[in-house]
Amino acid sequence: MLVLIKILIAFVMLEHLYILWFEMFAWTSRGPKIFKQLPKELFPPTKALAANQGLYNGFLAAGLAWTFFISDPVWSLRVAAFFLGCVAVAGIYGALTADKKIFFVQALPALIILLLIIFY
């Protein structure tokens, strides 16, 4: 079970590294292709805002990556639970304020892993 939890944590960590890359470095190039409902002229003036969001996603990824270097498994899971809780809150907030699919892409995986940690 611990191996499954660690694999899922790595998945969420990689997802947030991707979001970091996308929002910090590919916002104006790939953003219009992914967010087709938004006008293309919106992306250049919001580049700094997107980069700021990307940086926060990087902090979440860094926190989850940190858990792989903590030798005590109990402490590692507690730190993972904290950062997964942060991911879940951010995903729920994003679903309520921006797009409902954010819940399924970000919050739900974190909530599932949190449940696995609780019942481990």
How many secondary structure helices (H) and strands (E) does the chain include?
A: 6, 0
The type of residue at 44 is P
Rounded to an integer, what distance in angstroms lies between the CA atom of residue 11 and that of residue 5?
10
Predicted local confidence at residue 100, as pLDDT: 96
> Would you place residue 48 in the very low, low, confident or very high pLDDT band (cuts 50, 70, 90)?
very high
pLDDT, tens digit (0-9, with 9 covering 90-100), for 61-84? 999 999 999 999 999 999 999 999
